[in-house]
Chains A and B, each alone.
Chain A
């Protein structure tokens, strides 16, 4: 069974601060998605990374896929209250047909105004 461990599990910071969330595994993934989920809603796709070492930016969010495609990070600059939510990484196993994603354990982020 492939596992994706996220850290930290919980993070509460002041508005304007920077933060990094990590998503780690011992397994290789063909691609990795990051989602943000608000209470009572479904996960919303933020980004997909495919190539080892790839870096993608989405406004104040920077996503990186590890060189070996086993880990990923999400960095938020100047966090805002609207960034509050549950952040989930999800990896597509290498060699698998298509359907199964392995979800990370989640990081619950709270930005304090």
Chain B
């Protein structure tokens, strides 16, 4: 099983709303990632959690707030977003050891900010 599950699949929110994206994996992976992908562009790394601790923050605005409640779950809390934040948000996870660079992606959440 190499499944990373993201919910919701689609989300429409206003600029004053607060919402959360969820990601779950049960592969025992200890690194989890959030990416943002705009149309026709490659994914851009936002955050990395390693062993439930934030290890990389790619200078992401504070209106995006990640959270890793446990080794299987990763959340992305959204508040006061801008229309330019509309994108496909991807979650990924990767194992430890010799295959640690291999990232497995979820299907993404398509976010529209009105």
* A41 vs B41: C-alpha distance when bound (angstroms): 13
Judged by a CB distance under 8 angstroms, whether A82 is at the interface is no
Chain A proximity mask over B19-38: 1 for CB below 8 Å, otherwise 0: 00000000000010100000
Binds B, one of A57-65, A67-75, A92-100: A92-100
Which chain B residues lie closer than 8 Å to A88 at the CB level?
A: 42-43
CB-nearest residue of chain A to B32: A99
Which chain A residues lie closer than 8 Å to B6 at the CB level?
A: 42
Judged by a CB distance under 8 angstroms, whether B104 is at the interface is yes
- Tier of interface size on chain B: 20 to 34
B107 lies within 8 A of A33 (CB): no
Indicate whether A99 sits within 8 Å of B31 (C-beta atoms), given known contacts A42-B106, A43-B105, A45-B102. Answer: yes
Main secondary structure of the interface of A (DSSP, over half): strand
Judged by a CB distance under 8 angstroms, whether B66 is at the interface is no
Which chain B residues lie closer than 8 Å to A30 at the CB level?
A: 101
Contact of A106 among B41, B92, B110 (CB under 8 A): B41
Give the shortest distance, in Å, between A105 (CB) and chain B (any CB): 6
Which chain A residues lie closer than 8 Å to B112 at the CB level?
A: none
A99 lies within 8 A of B50 (CB): yes
CB-nearest residue of chain A to B50: A99
Which chain B residues lie closer than 8 Å to A103 at the CB level?
A: 42-43
Judged by a CB distance under 8 angstroms, whether A48 is at the interface is yes
> Contact residues of A with B, CB < 8 Å?
30-31, 33, 35, 40-45, 48, 86, 88, 90, 92, 98-101, 103-106, 108
The 4 closest A-B pairs by CB, nearest first: A92-B101, A42-B105, A103-B42, A98-B100
| Further pairs besides A43-B90, A104-B42: 11, Cβ < 8 Å | A40-B107, A40-B108, A41-B107, A42-B6, A88-B43, A92-B101, A98-B31, A99-B94, A100-B45, A105-B42, A108-B40
Give 13 CB contacts A-B under 8 Å.
A33-B101, A33-B103, A35-B105, A40-B110, A42-B92, A42-B105, A45-B103, A92-B101, A98-B31, A99-B33, A103-B42, A106-B40, A106-B41
